[in-house]
Structure formats: structure tokens, C-alpha cells
Amino acid sequence: MRVLELFSGLGGWRCALGDRGQVAAAYDVSEAANATYALNHGQEPRARELATLPLQELAEHGADAWLLSPPCQPFCRMGNHQGLADPRSRAFRHVMNLFQQAPPDHLVLENVVGFLGSDAHALLSERIRDQGMHQLDLQTCPSRFGLPNQRPRVYIVASRKPLKALPPPDLQPPPLAGFLDAVEDEGLYLQGEAHTRHYQGLDLVAAGDRRSACFIGGYGRRFVGSGSFLKTTRGVRRFSPAEVARLLGLPEGFRFPEHLPLEARYRLLGNGLSIPVAAWVLSHLPSR
């Protein structure tokens, strides 16, 4: 399978793809995302604004599948719920036009649960129907896949071949202890005013717990509702980017460019995919 990874971020779809296929090209407008992608996958994504990508450029890749995770803010619980009217949906609308003109054999989209029932979901379903393709709407969470992390997401799978929903696993997650760094970063502990002001509202977990809240892009600067904080005998601290990466199921060797600030690392991870879940979603695609 030749794949186009659109809105590629740090390359979650590529990690999940494994030997099911090959990424012909990845596209993302973010410099930080592209530097991280290139460092980990040895392929430079195209730094392009997808809202203006010419059809011919996309068609030239001869891809069988498009894997995409468009921005979720227009559909987020904490967002403005403007769906397609949100300027951040412009690129998605354009990709839908390209899909109408030059559809691949398969398409898989990931987004937040609020995507289901939105005008964007309706547009995608209409495009899939117009092409005579089959569609599966899946909804699941990594906490069912043996990961102590909540990240409920929806996945729309479309294919020219018939699709059948597979039952997701129902594995008990292990304690968070196994996902923590061997050496703690002291700088992650909340100090002074940050501690007193936000302590009450934090989602606190301990190393023995088997859950953590969804880490969002703003985890590096926000407190309440941005992800879990770890309570230890020494105080309360943020999870490190490496710990969040493990909770997402990214490979152990995953790394960031050295110069990339902490907040940018959290932003990329907060936008990312849960790899075992994404791999399960891709296993729905019929092999040739």
C-alpha cells in the first residue's frame, strides 16, 4: 500500500502503518512537526499549506490510501464547535474536494469524538458515498488497548472493498510506573504559586494508578483539563514528553530535535495519535 500522510504531525500514522505499507509523502505546515518527523522517520515531509495543494501534486504520488488527522479544534469539547465554518477546517474542505476529483482506494481519518455528527462528518460521508465506497465509523480509547491513558477518538475508514468492524481488545492497562522515566526531571515539579493556585483542579494520579487523562496540546502551559499530573513523595509534577510519548505507544527511540522547546514537544504529542489504536484501525483495511 502506498500511503499519503496528510496533516502528518510527528508521524503517528506512519508508526502505526508498520509493514502494511509505505509512506509515499507526508504533508504538514508546521516546521516543528516536520523537523521531528524527519528526525524520527528519515523522510522530510512537504511543508505545504494543504488548503491550496494542487490536485496534480497529490495525484502524482499514485497513493492507494490517504491517512489524515485534520485539526480537531473545530470539533473539540472545549472549542467553538464551528465545524466546517472554522477557518482551521479550510484545508480539510480542500482535501475533500481533491478526494472528490481523484479518490484513492482507501481513506482513514482520525479526529475527536465531536467530529461524529458534525457537518464535516456529513461532508466526508457524502464524498465516500458519491464514490461508491464503503464506510466504517469506529470509536475507541487506548485504555482498552492495555495503555493507562484516556484518549477517546473516532476513526472514519473508507474503502472500495467491503469493510467489517473488528472487536477492539479489552486489555487491563498496567500501572503508570512502567511508563515513567528512570530519572525524574526536577524542573517538571510545580513550584510556588503554580502549585497553590492550580492544585485543587488538577487531575492527580500516582505511579500505581492504571489511568491518566488525555494530554492535550496545551499541557505544557495549562493545568486544569490539560492532562494528568503525577503525585510523588516529592510533590506534584507534569509528565515528561518522553512519558507522554510512551503513553501514546510511540516507539522507545522516539525523540525530538534538541533545540525544540518543552511546550512545542507537548503540543506535538497532544496533537498525536495513540499508535496501538491507529494500528488496529488500519488493520480494518482489506489487503489486496
Ligand X SMILES: C[S@@+](CC[C@H](N)C(=O)[O-])C[C@H]1O[C@@H](n2cnc3c(N)ncnc32)[C@H](O)[C@@H]1O
* Among the listed residues 3, 7, 26, 246, the single contact to ligand X using CB under 6 A: 7
Instruction: Work out whether 45 is an interface residue with ligand X (CB under 6 A).
Output: no
Catalytic pick from 72, 76, 141, 214?
A: 72
Residue 115 or 223: the one with the smaller Cβ distance to ligand X is 115
* Among the listed residues 26, 163, 230, 273, the single contact to ligand X using CB under 6 A: 273
Please give the Cα distance from 284 to 288 (Å, whole number).
Answer: 12
* Among the listed residues 24, 38, 51, 262, the single contact to ligand X using CB under 6 A: 51
Instruction: Work out whether 29 is an interface residue with ligand X (CB under 6 A).
Output: yes
Backbone dihedral angles phi then psi of residue 205, each to the nearest 5 degrees: -135, 160
Residues 213-252, mask of contacts with ligand X (x by CB under 6 A): ----------------------------------------
Closest to 78 measured CA to CA, from 205, 264, 224, 204: 224
Instruction: Work out whether 49 is an interface residue with ligand X (CB under 6 A).
Output: yes
Which own/partner contact pairs does 95-98 have at CB distance under 8 Å and 24+ positions apart?
A: 95/6, 95/50, 95/53, 95/66, 95/68, 95/70, 96/123, 96/124, 96/127, 98/53, 98/55, 98/58
* Among the listed residues 45, 71, 241, 249, the single contact to ligand X using CB under 6 A: 71
Alpha-carbon separation of residue 27 from 50, 63, 69, 271 (angstroms): 8, 13, 11, 15
Please give the Cα distance from 22 to 273 (Å, whole number).
Answer: 18
Residue 41 or 134: the one with the smaller Cβ distance to ligand X is 41
Closest to 5 measured CA to CA, from 39, 43, 40: 43
Q: Which three cell numbers stand for residue 36?
A: 521531528
Instruction: Work out whether 30 is an interface residue with ligand X (CB under 6 A).
Output: yes
Instruction: Work out whether 114 is an interface residue with ligand X (CB under 6 A).
Output: no
Instruction: Work out whether 33 is an interface residue with ligand X (CB under 6 A).
Output: yes
Look up 76 and say whether it is catalytic: no
The two beta strands, 153-159 and 134-140, are antiparallel
* Among the listed residues 4, 50, 230, 277, the single contact to ligand X using CB under 6 A: 50
The contact set with ligand X (CB under 6 A) reads 7-13, 27-30, 33, 49-51, 69, 71-72, 91, 271-273
Active site residue ranges: 72
